[in-house]
A and B are shown apart, each in its own frame.
Chain A
Amino acid sequence: MSKIALSRFASWIEGKLSKDTLLITSLGDSCAAVALGHERTLALDAMGVALGLGIGVAMTSTLDVLVLETDGSILLDLSALAAYAEASRRLANFRLAIIDNESYQSAGKFPRPCHTLNWITLCKAFDLECEVLSSVEALDGMGGMSDWTAVTVFKVDEPDIAVDPLPLNGRARASRIRGQLEQAGIAYPRPATKN
């Protein structure tokens, strides 16, 4: 079985997304590698926020939404999984993917506490279906996003590519995705007026 390299994962997941899928990513190099490959992406500079934000947009729109979290980001706000479990019956257009590299990547692969985190058990506690993929062969056997379980964990091995910093700052990234959605007919809240 071949371990999943970051470059392979990034190109694989882009192949699974339709161009209209809204991708919301957490921070970190692993997420950035994926965010760079998909046009309709909001790459957040925040941990513990992406899942909630994705639930909010999925509950109030018809967009297909994929939230890409990291192990550290999910651990920072586990209670979002409770909200996800509560909302999941109403979220046909939503999936959660988690990249697990078992470390603080940006701190030089510093080992994570609880190295062998059991995702299946964790998700089961929230009554969420979960699948863990840890090999390229497992990736090859995966269908489209709509076939994925509520939570899919990807055990991604050492990053094999140098990920450049994302080209836009936080406000520009938000403005960019807002503009894309505007063009797709998802209106901005009422425009400012001059009184």
Chain B
Amino acid sequence: MSGRINPSVLTKALIATDVAFVAATPDSRTAPLLRELIDLDGTNGAPSVLVTPDEASAVSMVAGATFLSGVRALAIMEASGLRRAYEALARLALGHGIFPPLLITVRGGVGERDWWAIGQQVTLVRCLEALGYAWEQIDTEEMADAVLAKALATADIQECGVAVLRNF
């Protein structure tokens, strides 16, 4: 696993890519980023943020923001949250062709020391594939802008889902 990415780098990348709205379920790794975004509270080009206890709600909110309001938005969650959001995503993506973009914390890969995180890696890619989501991973701070810009360009088309996997 690579080193952790400074949350300010991701905040700048979200601003640079015109992300207007974020719905998120926090975990220990996303919390610093979310705190930074909440402090900005939609100012200086930062996205507005809504924290929700359930990833299924987060992807639903982002579906409304992207597909109906036409703005760029991201649902932020830990990899385990994808499993929780799976039914909502299946209904939206496979049933209606609505693909909320995702930013997911990768946990459970080689180098993981938390035993409970291993299962997250086992299901992450399989769930994304089953839902027809394309994905790319940010491994270094230098990659953040470019990966996010590419992912959102594809998400704009709304022909498939796009997930950015963040290696913390």
Q: Hey, which bits of chain A sit against chain B, CB under 8 A?
A: 22, 24, 42, 44-46, 48-61, 63, 77, 79-80, 82-83, 86-87, 170-171, 173-175, 177-178, 181, 186-192
In the complex, the answer to whether A80 meets B60 with C-beta atoms within 8 Å is yes
* A44 and B65 within 8 A (CB): no
Residues of A within 8 A of B87 (CB): 48
Residues of B within 8 A of A191 (CB): 156-157
Contacts of B57 in A (CB 8 A): 51-52, 77, 79-80, 83
Shortest Cβ distance from B168 into chain A, in angstroms? 24
Q: How far is the CA of A1 from the CA of B21 in the complex (A)?
A: 46
> What are the interface flags for B146-168 relative to A under an 8 Å C-beta threshold, 1 for contact and 0 otherwise?
00000001011111000000000
- Give Cα distance in the complex from A58 to B52, angstroms: 16
Q: Does B135 contact A (CB under 8 A)?
A: no
Q: Is the CB of B97 within 8 A of A79?
A: no
Q: Is residue B33 within 8 Å, beta carbon to beta carbon, of the partner chain?
A: no
Binds A, one of B4-12, B88-96, B115-123: B88-96
Which of A45, A54, A55, A86 is the one whose CB lies under 8 Å from B51? Answer: A86
CA distance A174 to B97 in the complex (A): 7
State how many angstroms separate the Cβ of B53 from the closest Cβ of chain A.
4
By a CB distance below 8 angstroms, the chain A residues around B153 are 190
Known A46-B96, A61-B68, A61-B69; further 9 A-B contacts with Cβ < 8 A: A45-B96, A52-B23, A60-B65, A60-B69, A63-B68, A79-B52, A174-B96, A186-B68, A187-B70
Residues of A within 8 A of B155 (CB): 189
Are A52 and B58 closer than 8 Å at their CB atoms?
Answer: yes
B97:A171 contact, CB within 8 angstroms: yes
Determine the interface band of chain B, counting residues with CB < 8 A from chain A.
35 or more
Is A45 a contact partner of B95 (Cβ separation < 8 A)? Answer: yes
Task: Give the distance in Å from the alpha carbon of A46 to the alpha carbon of B67 in the complex.
Answer: 16
Q: Could you say which of B53, B64, B66, B88 contacts A55, with CB atoms under 8 Å apart?
A: B64
The 10 A-B pairs of least Cβ separation, nearest first, read A52-B60, A56-B64, A56-B61, A46-B91, A57-B64, A79-B54, A189-B156, A60-B69, A83-B52, A170-B95
The answer to whether B91 touches A42, judged by C-beta atoms less than 8 angstroms apart, is no
User: A48 to B88, Cβ gap below 8 A?
Assistant: yes
- CA distance in complex: A60, B18 (Å): 13
26 cross-chain CB contacts under 8 A: A24-B64, A44-B91, A49-B92, A52-B59, A52-B61, A52-B63, A53-B60, A55-B50, A55-B61, A56-B69, A58-B64, A61-B69, A77-B54, A77-B57, A80-B57, A80-B60, A83-B61, A86-B50, A170-B95, A170-B96, A174-B97, A175-B97, A186-B68, A189-B157, A189-B158, A191-B157
